[in-house]
Every structure is written in C-alpha cells, then in structure tokens.
Structure 1
Amino acid sequence: MAILSQEQVSLLTDYDADSTYSTAYHTLYANIRFSWNDEQLGPHTILFATPAAYPGYAGAAANVAIAAAQSNTPTILIDASLHTPGLQQRFGVVTSGGLSNLLAEEKLNAQTLALCLSETFVPNLRLLCAGTATVPSQEISRLLATRLPVVLAGLRQYLAESSSEQSLIIFNSAPVLASINTAQISSIVDQTFLLISSGRTSRTQAKRAQEQLERAHAKLTGIVMLDV
C-alpha cells in the first residue's frame, strides 16, 4: 500500500522536485517499477482504478505518468474515462482524436495511431485523450472487448519502435462501480492498482470494487491511499 498526501488534483510539475508531494509520487512509481517483470517483452501496462468518483481522481494516474517520464521511462497516458474525461484539459493539449476515435476505426494503422497521440509539456510523456468520436453507452463495452486489445497492441508497437528503453502505458478509467468498462480494461493490463480516497471511499465501496476487479481476473497488485 502507498499513501499519498496533499491535493492529488495538482500535477506533479506544480511542485518542487524535492517537495513531499513530488517525493511521494516518485516513490510510488519506483515501487511499481520494482514489481515489473524485466523479462517481459514490450511496454508494461497498468490501470489506476477508483471505486467511486471524487474530484481529481484522475490526478493520481497523471502524476505517476509524470513521475515515470521524469525517470526517463517513455510513457503513454490513456484517458479511458470516455464519458467523464479530464486529462486533456489538465494537460492543456489540443487534439482532434483520441481513444474513442481509435476504437471506432475498423482498420487501425500506425499513422492514425500517431496522429491521436499528443505531446505534453513533460518530455517522454504522450497523452491519448478520451477522443472526439461519439460512442453510445451500449457500444462502449463491445468496442473495449473487441477493439481495445488491437489499440493496445498498436501502442505497444509504437513504443517498441520509438525507444529501446523499457516503456509504460498507464490507463485512467471511470470508477469501477460506475461502469463495467474499468473491469474490462483491468483484464488486459499487466497490473491494476485500486485508489482509495481517505474520508470518501467507504469500506463497502472498496470491497465491492475489489470483488468486481477480481471477477474480471484483474492482476490486482496493490492499493494506493489518497489522503485528501
């Protein structure tokens, strides 16, 4: 378990590198990095999931992505919260495409994939926004089941071809109890971390979220306590 204090809604880059806030996220990333299987081929994939919504929950995924990039790990941060995206505004990027656009593509090619990845103000960090394609709620689960593995394979290849370093793909998603989509994502990533918000997440919510992820055969690696 890791415990992160202060306002998790703030980006890591807003703080001095020696601050307690910065140190907490770099320590969390280091612990995650130690748990990787270095013999695994290709980029490592992780999901940060929270039982229920609360303001700024996407900040944890964003800050771990920044910590990874600042540690010279080529990183792609994916906003898979398609109905309540927040990372595009947080990073101030302008894009005409994102995850929903890639999911809607019948034939995905490297050029389309590259066009949807946005450079950020953090070296080594690219953002795949939620996207601009309108996807009906009843279609999202089907597309995640059939198309997300294809998108993820494309992203793995993109990172493998663009860098010889071990790389990382991070998913930010909708709350576990609000959507089955998060459990679907958890089933195809290498590790899932459950975010628990002190004073906001109840024991019942945490237990139900854990059970839902386990039913999806998620590799639930740890719990991150956000002390707000």
Structure 2
Amino acid sequence: MTVLDFLRLTGRSWRTLLIGVAIGLLGAFGYTQVQPHVFTANSSGFVTAGPSEGGLIGGSEAAVAKAQSYLPLITSRPVYEKIAQNPDSGLAEGQTLTGRLTASVAPNSNLIEVQASADSPAAAVALANGALQAMADVISDLESQAGGGVSSVTVLPLQDAVAPTSPESPNLRNNLLIGAGIGLVLAYVFVFLRKALDVKVRNSKDLASAAGVGSLGRIPKSPQLMGKNRASNDADAIAAESFRRLRTNLRFASVDEEIRSMVITSSNAGEGKSTIATSLAQVLAQSNTPTILIDADLRRPTVASVLGIDGSVGLSEVLSGQISLEDALTATKTPGLYALPSGRIPPNPSEMLGSEAMRSIIRLLSQDYIVIIDAPPLLPVTDAAILSTRVDGVVLVATAGRTRREDVGAARDMLSQVHGRLLGTVLNMVPPRDTADGYEYRRNRSYYVTANKKGMPVFKSAKGHVDLLEPQPDTNAPATISLAPRANVAPQNAGKKAQPQAAPQQTAVAEPPLSNAAPSDSENAPTRRSRRGA
C-alpha cells in the first residue's frame, strides 16, 4: 500500500476513525473517574552539622554528607512510629505509609525535601509536614546517642507543605491523550482488517480484477435512477453523462468486429441490469442509432414497466409462434428506440431462449439495429449464459459495496465455459463522494447540464450563477464506428393497409426489418407502425 492509498483509505474511513477516537476518549475519561485520586505535597528543611561555615544554603561537606546518609530514614519504622504518634500528621487509624513517603536532597546542597501522598489535599499537607518533623526527631535521637547525649546534626524546617490544587494521579489530560491514541490505532486496525477481509466490489479496480476485463463505465448512485424514475436518466445530468460515456466506451470495445447485439446481465438479482439496459438503449437511440431493447428476462420482466408500455404480449409469444415479430415490437417515447417486451412468463424460459427462433430473431434485428438484451442474472439461472452464445458480447453489471467479488468471478467462469464474450463491466450505484470512483463526478458537478421545467438547459458555474440558453437541435450524425447502424431496410409489408399514424417524432425512424429481401419501390412508402405503437 502506497502513501496515496493510505490517505485515500483514511479519507473513506474518517467516520470509523472518528468513532474510534471518541470511544478511546470516553474510555479514558471513565477510567480516570473510577481511579482513586492521589494528591501530593512537599515540605523541605536544611540539615546542619555543627557550626555552618558556608551558610545554610551552601552547607558544609559534613552537612551534605549527613543529609545524603539520612535519606533512607524516611521509610524506616522509627519515622513511621513518630508520624503515627503525632495527632497532626493526618494519618487515620489503620492506614499504612508504605509507598506514600519519599525524600530527596537537592544536588550539592544540604536541602532535604519530603514528598507525601494522600487521598485529599489536607491529608497530603499534614502528612508531609509530619514526616519532615518525624524525620528530624529520629535524626536528632540518633545523633544524640552517637554523641553521648549531644546532637551535632539539626534539621531546620524551611517551608511547610502547600495544599495541592489538582491531583497528581490520575492525570486526566494524559489519560485522554493516551485513550485517543489507543482508539485511533484500534480504529486503523479495524479499517485495515475490514479491507483485508472485504469480499465486496468497492471500486472499478476490484471489479476489473474479479472479472478479468476492463471497465466500460461507472454509474453514480442517484434517486432519479430508482423506482419509477428508472426510465428518465436525463433527470440527473451526472447520471446521463455516465451513460453517454458507457455508450462511447461500448463503441470502441471491439476494433476488429462490429458489436451489433449485446446482453446486459449481472451476477445476482437486484444489481441494476434492467435500469442500465434501458438507459443504454435510450442514449444509443438519442445518438441517431436505431436500437431495439429486448426483455429476455422471462422470469421477472421489468422493461415494460420501466418504459411504460404494454407488456402482455412480447417475446414469449413470438418464440412460441403465436404472433409475428412485427406485431410484438412496440415503439417507445424515445425516437429510434423500439422495445420487445417479455410477454407472458412461460414454463420453460431457458429452452425458449436457447431455441433456433431466438437466434434468428437476434440475427435478423441486428442487421440494421443495435440489439440490447436485458437478460436474467447469471448465477441463479442459465438463461443469460445461453443468450451469450447468440450475441456479439456480454456486459456484466455489478453494484458497488454489494456485489461479492467471488460472484463476479463465478459469472465470468460461466461465460467462459460456454465461450461467451465478455465485453467489459459496469459498476453501478457508485457513491458520489467515493474518493476512488465518484470523486470525478463531485469535482466536475458544476459542469454538467440540467434542464428547467420548460426544457431549457441550465448551466451552473463554479461561482453559483446560472445562465439559461436556448435549446439547440440535435445535429449529431451517426458516426462511422463499430456500433453505427447499417442502412435502414423498410419492412416487407409496407404496401399493405396503413395503420394509424404514430407520434410525429417517430415518423423519421425506420421500422425493424422482418426479412432480408431487398426493398422494392413500394417499400419506400411511409413505414408501417406497430399495432401497439406508443
């Protein structure tokens, strides 16, 4: 992991790290509150040995030596007994002095300091003063015995102890710093452990690594692509631009061979394949590329409900020979886009999709139209694997933070076993604030175009001002690339009785070809509309 990867991981996991620090602070605060408070007070005095030649501060060499030699007395039994006998020492009955008294001598001086600890400021002051006096009495007694009743060493009190204002321990500030540090470290351990054990697809790199092919696009998470709004990808400018990018990448997915038909599928259900198939078909049609969207999910069809068309008759009836392909095709609100709904749910979907009739339909329609097939997920059923052998390629959809990498690998293996061609992958529902895949959308958000209620484009600048421009007609001509449609062939029954005219915006769109016969002069008449046109 590089430094940049570490910073990105920190940015994505800042909430977890913040929670870890907060937990560490709370734990340190609670620990501090339950610990007994210890207050420390200091008292000091000078040790003199005979006449003071150098003054009290400097002290004679004998006084300095005596002060150093008497330091161990602070923890001796005679001193403890003297303190216990002194009613002013603040020592309660039954209390022990072990570890509560220390003594030290200032460097190169005869100044001795006594430090006492207690559970309250007053008790610490009384104990420090009492200990210094007890130590002076014991030293005087020892010197008197050694000198034949006359003591040559005297301890002169210099400064009485002062009541402390805050406890010596526990130290709240230090404990909080330590707790925050421990919480941060544990949070990082959790983040790295979660990353190491993570089996979900989080970004395009994870998806490309699991699928073994490159990424064709990333679709951001948007409320406009959920529920009943799935057919209106233009409502979100960022989402619309992501589908245009997917369209562009698909056009260059194959250099040596045209991509005329493709299956849109996923590893498991609920990963957004139908939404992506519908939106991709719409943006293809909007680029003057005649497109047909086939709902081949004969188990849980959704294309008809997304596009708002009648789905009672469709692919299953065509495959069973009940109606003709011409009657099943339905014009949509998007000029240049036709849909073939699933129709009624048959008892044998896999057999119907693997039939020769299905192969003929795809071959016939793909001669002059781009065919987008919304297929069932790969892992639950075998329908998509069968369809992958009938088309030019497969686009695999995965959901960021939901799809498991092992499921993507299993789907790839299924396609490989039937010799299906995997064109690439699409990562769906990318969080807009994800630093790995969504940052480019958030950074360039002000550049995307939205429309007002009148249909006029609204350009939002970086500073927030809004400019309204008149809408311009679409002058994009079909590009001479692999996905461009071939010359339109009018249907063979164009000379028959005309049907009611469809919407004006659809009159310039050629009907799906139903035969390979060359068009005659009578076939150049206005094209026939579906009996169930939009």
TM-score w.r.t. the length of structure 1 is 0.84
Corresponding letter in the other structure for 1:29 = R
Residue-by-residue CA offset, 1:25-54 (whole Å, 9 max, x unaligned):
0010011012345865xx700111100011
Partner of 1:135: 346
Partner of 1:15: 234
Tell whether the 8 Å contact from 2:296 to 2:353 is kept in structure 1 after alignment. Answer: no
For 1:70 and 1:79, locate their aligned partners in 2 and report how far apart those are by CA, in whole Å. Answer: 20
1:71 aligns with 2:287: yes
Over 3 Å counting, the alpha-carbon distance change for 1:212 and 1:38 in structure 2 is: closer
Over 3 Å counting, the alpha-carbon distance change for 1:216 and 1:70 in structure 2 is: same
Tell me which moved more, 96-105 or 117-126. Answer: 96-105
Identity %: 29
Tell whether the 8 Å contact from 1:88 to 1:129 is kept in structure 2 after alignment. Answer: yes
User: Unaligned stretches of 5+ in structure 1?
Assistant: 161-166
Partner of 1:197: 399
SS at match of 2:362: helix
Partner of 2:374: 172
For 1:145 and 1:14, locate their aligned partners in 2 and report how far apart those are by CA, in whole Å. Answer: 32
Corresponding letter in the other structure for 1:15 = D
Corresponding letter in the other structure for 2:337 = L
For 1:203 and 1:39, locate their aligned partners in 2 and report how far apart those are by CA, in whole Å. Answer: 30
For 2:233 and 2:375, locate their aligned partners in 1 and report how far apart those are by CA, in whole Å. Answer: 23
Tell whether the 8 Å contact from 1:36 to 1:44 is kept in structure 2 after alignment. Answer: no
SS at match of 1:73: coil
Structure 1 outlier segments of 4+, above 6 Å: none
- 1:113 aligned to which of 317, 322, 325: 325
For 2:350 and 2:239, locate their aligned partners in 1 and report how far apart those are by CA, in whole Å. Answer: 36
Task: Give 1:95 shift.
Answer: 4.7
Over 3 Å counting, the alpha-carbon distance change for 1:118 and 1:177 in structure 2 is: same
Backbone CA RMSD of aligned residues: 2.1
Task: Give 1:177 shift.
Answer: 0.6
Task: Give 1:218 shift.
Answer: 0.9
SS at match of 2:282: helix
For 2:396 and 2:363, locate their aligned partners in 1 and report how far apart those are by CA, in whole Å. Answer: 24
Partner of 1:163: none
Corresponding letter in the other structure for 1:48 = I
Tell whether the 8 Å contact from 1:51 to 1:205 is kept in structure 2 after alignment. Answer: yes
Corresponding letter in the other structure for 2:219 = L
SS at match of 2:379: helix
For 1:55 and 1:148, locate their aligned partners in 2 and report how far apart those are by CA, in whole Å. Answer: 25
Tell whether the 8 Å contact from 1:99 to 1:128 is kept in structure 2 after alignment. Answer: yes
Partner of 1:164: none
Corresponding letter in the other structure for 2:335 = P
- 2:273 aligned to which of 54, 57, 65: 57
Task: Give 1:187 shift.
Answer: 1.1
Partner of 1:86: 302
For 1:44 and 1:187, locate their aligned partners in 2 and report how far apart those are by CA, in whole Å. Answer: 14
Tell whether the 8 Å contact from 2:267 to 2:411 is kept in structure 1 after alignment. Answer: yes
Task: Give 1:154 shift.
Answer: 3.4
For 2:281 and 2:360, locate their aligned partners in 1 and report how far apart those are by CA, in whole Å. Answer: 22
Task: Give 1:181 shift.
Answer: 0.7
SS at match of 2:397: strand
User: Unaligned stretches of 5+ in structure 2?
Assistant: 1-214, 431-534
Corresponding letter in the other structure for 2:329 = L
Structure with the greater relative contact order (CA < 8 A, sep ≥ 6): 1 or 2? 1
Tell whether the 8 Å contact from 1:113 to 1:155 is kept in structure 2 after alignment. Answer: no
Over 3 Å counting, the alpha-carbon distance change for 1:182 and 1:39 in structure 2 is: closer
| Pairing of 1:17-32 with structure 2 (within 5 A) | 19-32=237-250
Over 3 Å counting, the alpha-carbon distance change for 1:198 and 1:39 in structure 2 is: closer
Task: Give 1:155 shift.
Answer: 2.3
Over 3 Å counting, the alpha-carbon distance change for 1:36 and 1:203 in structure 2 is: closer
SS at match of 1:4: strand
Corresponding letter in the other structure for 1:21 = A
Corresponding letter in the other structure for 2:297 = S
SS at match of 1:178: coil
SS at match of 2:264: strand
Task: Give 1:156 shift.
Answer: 3.3
SS at match of 2:334: coil
Tell whether the 8 Å contact from 1:80 to 1:171 is kept in structure 2 after alignment. Answer: yes
For 2:263 and 2:291, locate their aligned partners in 1 and report how far apart those are by CA, in whole Å. Answer: 13
TM-score w.r.t. the length of structure 2 is 0.37
Partner of 2:96: none
Over 3 Å counting, the alpha-carbon distance change for 1:55 and 1:3 in structure 2 is: closer
Task: Give 1:144 shift.
Answer: 1.9
